[in-house]
Structure 1
Amino acid sequence: MLTPTGAPPLAALKQWLAISTPAEDALLERLLVSAWQSCSAFAGAALPQDWGAAPPALAEGILRLAAHLYRERDAGDAASATPPAAIAALWRPFRALRL
């Protein structure tokens, strides 16, 4: 699966989670890549290769999913097959429909 290029939106995720230290930066970057890949799979289409080129709704959903994964990292069902409803709602307009 493709991964995005360029710097991930780490600062925005840290702000969202109210994290001010660099201690968990590596984990947060991995969660952002995982959320990006989940978004791509949900949409059924390749996302732009650069973080900054993603449409705002997709980028917001990626950020929210990474935050969700961080908060739920110790829960047994954190690797759910479907994103939370609020995130899916942001991504749904970009979903490739097949007939």
Structure 2
Amino acid sequence: MPTLIVVPDLTGAPLAALKEWLAISGPREDALLLRLLAAGYETCARFVEPSAMPADWAGLPSALAEGIVRFAAWQYRERDGGVDRPPPAAIAALWRPYRTLRL
């Protein structure tokens, strides 16, 4: 059974960081951006192990937070593309140091 991932509140700083990254100033897209941030947080948690994720955004290492914002921005930009491309390698590079390897 998959581990339940609890997504913290992503309004405030996380949403502001994503809007800055995408150069969006108004609130019209906020609901979509919050869903994309949540998907990015869950993807990161599965990549690095859910137990490695803190309970709130402020506790995230900056590399994990930056990767989540970049993942959400990539999803936003690719939403209408119709091309099935993998996320940019820079995202995994930001998250990889926090990944637990199993032998």
TM-score band w.r.t. shorter chain = 0.7 to 0.9
Offset at residue 77 of structure 1 (A):
4.4
**Bigger CA drift: 4-13 or 58-67?**
4-13
Name stretches of at least 5 consecutive residues in structure 2 with no aligned partner.
Answer: none
Name stretches of at least 5 consecutive residues in structure 1 with no aligned partner.
Answer: none
Task: Give the aligned length.
Answer: 97
Q: What are the equivalent positions in structure 2 for 1:9-88 lying under 5 Å apart? A: 9-46=14-51, 47-77=53-83, 83-88=87-92
Distance 1:62 1:38 in 2: 8
Q: Which residue of 2 aligns with 1:91?
A: 95
What TM-score does the superposition give when structure 1 sets the normalisation length? Answer: 0.88
What TM-score does the superposition give when structure 2 sets the normalisation length? Answer: 0.85
Distance 1:49 1:38 in 2: 15
Q: Which residue of 1 aligns with 2:6?
A: 3
Instruction: Indicate conservation of the 8 Å contact 2:49/2:99, yes or no.
Output: yes
Distance 1:77 1:42 in 2: 23
Offset at residue 70 of structure 1 (A):
0.4
